[in-house]
Amino acid sequence: MRNGSWRRGLSIVVFVAGVVAGTAVGRVEYQPPLKSGEYFILAGDFHVHAAPGDGSLTPSALRDEAARQGLDVIAITNHNQFVAASLVPAVADADQPIVLRGEEVTNPNYHLIAVGIERVIRPDLSVPDAVAAIHAAGGVAIAAHPSRSFSGYDDAALAVVNGTEVAHPERQERYRRQYLETYERARQLNPDVAAIGSSDVHNTLALGRCRTYVFARERSGRGVIEAIRAGRTVAADERGRLFGDASLVERVRSLPRPGPIDPHPQWRRASVVLAYVGLGGLLFF
């Protein structure tokens, strides 16, 4: 018994050391967004999973990670639940990246990202009905990794979504092609559909690996939602390819695009390892 207590105590020490080390070396100063004419160019990731829920980092930790990755706005979008998203108001900070509340509405026939909502959206609706519910809740609807395996993304659905993920960190090239095909189909039905790049991050530090450049009239959640509704976005994948309206793509190309800001990447990775080892020890012992 004494041996087990010693191991549990060591696990707690290792876990706390990881959290403290990660907090100490992980803070960076948020860099204000760029401007192009009348617009702020906000780099965003609108498909992010958080704890408590199906992600490993809290909204507060994800906000700090967004600053490290050169992002101006993220959305917390857990599968069919709003627990982590309900914590977002507590982390609001005018001098940090914007954090929006959202949900990944998860149905066997589709996954649909709702951004800027105040309540959970039922997952048993058709895509058009789910989009209508999202709009009634004040949000925008984005087709999530819309491959051919999702039967819900027919023409009626693509005609009403506000955006569709065209840049997503997929390993299989065939899925990348299908996302692009879906985006082109949506553009034929709705010329103002927004091109979206998202990381779909759950348990890694890959936030913003694919991202969206939003042309917003103001640096606020309201400004972001209005820009997505109007289709003023450019999606960027991890290979540097840009998707969206040609004139907006050229404006993004002409601007300096800062990369990740991480002064101590090795120490931060070590802190994550320590935290997971300590947590694993606690669970095991």
Q: Do 168 and 277 lie in a common domain? A: no
Q: What is the pLDDT of residues 58-104, one digit of tens each?
A: 999 999 999 999 999 999 999 999 999 999 998 888 889 999 999 99
Tell me the helix, strand and coil percentages in the chain, rounded to 5: 40, 20, 40
State the pTM of this model: 0.84
Q: Do 202 and 73 lie in a common domain? A: yes
Q: Beta-strand (E) ranges in the chain?
A: 34-36, 39-48, 73-76, 98-107, 110-115, 140-143, 163-167, 194-197, 211-216, 233-236, 242-244
Distance CA 146, CA 233 (A): 18
Q: Total structural domains in the chain?
A: 2
Structural domain of residue 15, as residue ranges? 1-28+265-285
CATH of the domain at 118: 3.20.20.140
The residue with tokens 């090795």 is: 266
Q: Do 19 and 38 lie in a common domain? A: no
- What's the average pLDDT block by block, 10 residues per block, for the chain (285 residues)? 65 62 64 90 97 92 93 97 92 91 98 97 98 98 96 97 96 93 97 97 88 97 98 96 96 76 61 64 66
CB of 165 closer than 8 Å to CB of 196 = yes
The two tokens of residue 56 are 């490993």
